[in-house]
Amino acid sequence: MTPPPSPETPHTPPARSPAPALLLGLVITLAAVVAYSGYITWQISGLRLLQSELVDRNRRDSLQLLRIQNDLNLLGLAMRDMLDNDGPYPLTAWSAQFERIRLDLEDALRLGEAVSVAARTPGQRQYFANAVAQFWDAADRTFALAQDGDEDEARAQIQLSLQARQASLSASVARLLVENNAIEEETAMRVGEIYGQVQRQVYWFLGGTLMAIAVTSLYLIRSNRRLFAEMATLSDGRRELAQKLIATRESTLQQISRELHDEFGQTLTAIGSMLGRVGKHAPAGSTLRADLREIGETAQATLERMRSLSQTLHPSILDDLGLESAIEWYVSTTDRQLGVTVAYERRGPGRAVPSTVAIHVYRVLQEALSNVTRHSGVDQAWVRLRFEDDRLVLEVEDHGRGAAAARSQRGLGIVTMRERAGLLDGRLELEEPPGGGTLVRLSVPLGRSDRSV
Residue 216's CB is within 10 A of a number of other CB atoms, namely 18
Residue closest to 84 by CA, chosen among 179, 7, 155, 178? 155
Distance between CA 423 and CA 243 in Å, rounded?
7
> What is the residue extent of each domain of the chain?
19-217, 320-445
Distance between CA 154 and CA 102 in Å, rounded?
19
To 10 degrees, the CA torsion angle through 88, 89, 91, 92? 170
What is the pLDDT tens value at each position of the chain, 453 positions in all?
344 444 444 444 555 666 676 677 777 777 877 787 777 777 777 767 666 666 777 778 888 888 888 988 998 888 888 887 666 678 888 888 888 998 998 888 888 777 766 556 777 778 888 888 888 898 888 888 888 888 888 888 888 888 888 888 888 888 888 887 887 788 778 777 877 787 787 788 778 888 888 888 888 888 888 888 888 888 778 777 777 777 777 677 767 766 666 666 677 777 777 777 777 777 776 777 777 777 877 877 787 777 667 666 767 777 778 888 888 888 888 888 788 889 999 888 878 888 888 888 888 988 888 888 888 888 889 999 998 888 899 999 998 876 555 555 545 678 888 888 888 888 898 888 887 888 999 999 986 444 434
Q: Write a three-state SS string for the chain.
A: CCCCCCCCCCCCCCCCCCHHHHHHHHHHHHHHHHHHHHHHHHHHHHHHHHHHHHHHHHHHHHHHHHHHHHHHHHHHHHHHHHHCCCCCCCHHHHHHHHHHHHHHHHHHHHHHHHHCCCCCCHHHHHHHHHHHHHHHHHHHHHHHHHHCCCHHHHHHHHHHHHHHHHHHHHHHHHHHHHHHHHHHHHHHHHHHHHHHHHHHHHHHHHHHHHHHHHHHHHHHHHHHHHHHHHHHHHHHHHHHHHHHHHHHHHHHHHHHHHHHHHHHHHHHHHHHHHHHHHHHHCCCCCHHHHHHHHHHHHHHHHHHHHHHHHHHHCCHHHHHCCHHHHHHHHHHHHHHHCCCEEEEEEECCCCCCCHHHHHHHHHHHHHHHHHHHHHHCCCEEEEEEEECCCEEEEEEEECCCCHHHHHHCCCCHHHHHHHHHHHCCCEEEEECCCCCCEEEEEEEECCCCCCCC
What class does CATH assign to 320-445? alpha beta
Tell me the whole-structure pTM to 2 decimals. Answer: 0.49
Q: What per-residue confidence (pLDDT) applies to 16? A: 63
Distance between CA 115 and CA 59 in Å, rounded?
9
441: phi then psi, degrees, rounded to nearest 5: -120, 120
Contact indicator for 304, 337 with CB cutoff of 8 Å: no
Q: Maximum distance among all alpha carbons in the chain?
A: 186
Residue closest to 39 by CA, chosen among 202, 218, 239? 202
44-48: long-range contacts, CB 8 A cutoff, minimum separation 24: 44/198, 46/194, 47/191, 47/194, 47/195
Q: What dotted CATH number matches 19-217?
A: 1.20.1420
Q: What per-residue confidence (pLDDT) applies to 10? A: 43
Residue 358's CB is within 10 A of a number of other CB atoms, namely 21
Residue closest to 364 by CA, chosen among 419, 320, 433, 403? 419
95: amino acid identity, one letter = S
Q: Report the side by side order of strands in the sheet with 427-431.
A: 341-347, 380-387, 391-398, 438-445, 427-431
